[in-house]
Chains A and B, each alone.
Chain A
Amino acid sequence: MSILEVKGVNKRFGGLQALGDVNLSVAENTVHAIIGPNGAGKSTLLNCLVGKLIPDTGSVMFDGQSVLGRAPYEINQMGISRVFQTPEIFGDLTVMENMMIPCFAKRDGAFEMNALTSIRSQRDVLEQAEAMLADMNMIDKREMLAASLSRGDKRRLEIGMCLSQQPRLLLLDEPTAGMARADTNNTIDLLKQIKDERDITIAIIEHDMHVVFSLAERITVLAQGTPLVEDTPENIKGHPKVREAYLGESA
């Protein structure tokens, strides 16, 4: 069964057709990769899924419900969490505080006026946040300011924050971009572990073929805003059109 259904999505920026008639279907509990050269429209597509952009035409259904016209926070509360191309975390707050915020959002919803209760008394949230920090191997960094973390740790933190919302669909936009090899491998291991241990669907945009082929079960190739092919990793590797449009370029 597919959890995400994108049909006939178009998006123009002035004269530029960033997305042209995109159809995409992501099956539940799979890892689906979206690859394509720079400027192919991958980030634009993600933006249309999470409410950051509204497509000119087409429909986006998540779990049978349309996400179009909803605010980003509403779409997130439906069960879609997103990791950004450059980590979006709360830089001025500590790692622990960063992790508590999504736990509160999960428990209390989009807004809760609990202005006179002490954070220290919120045992359930503290425990959840701590458990997730332990999972992310960051418990020793809990009092550090998030802005002072290394790039790899920022990414881990952001992934952990998204996971602590227990989303049904996790969207990752080039999670290993700009990372050193060791950090990239750590991230691959982390994502593999997430995929094995949780009931979660992952849609990942990635430039690094090593990452894509170690994780993905399905791959969609996007070129100039239009899906070229969609297939299993084995078939994509040998596909002549893909080699020409994408792998050829990156080799």
Chain B
Amino acid sequence: MSDFTIFSDDAAKVQRLMTAYQASVKAEYIVLCHRDGSIIAEVGSLGIDATPLAVLSTASFDSARQVGMMLGGENFQAVSFTGENRSIYIAPVDQALLLVQIFPGSKLPNRIEDFNRLLVEKLVDAVPAFTQNTSRLVR
């Protein structure tokens, strides 16, 4: 069982990175969540509860991962959906976390993969806990 503790200073760092990123890619909303469904930080607002969004995004990503496995171990890096008014990009941050980005319009920004990778690197740099630091209770 992974147990996650998020302290305020870490959350503030993450929030700053995400805010700067949001401005540069012009995202409408970004949420960083644990793949178990809890919210770590969000920027922007959709006026809806982030938890179901996080849970369903996780499910989406997990389904894609499973399909990848069925296809002989294809390791999908991200999933995205585009609609008429909004598009969404879902990508992992290390093992445990997921970044969900929502953009206005029917297209994702050009080179979203590259931008996303930069943010992920910075997030991991800023909070090493994301990679080394899932406190565990072993019984």
Judge: A and B partners, yes or no: no
Binding site for B on A (CB under 8 A): none
Chain B residues in contact with chain A, CB under 8 A?
none
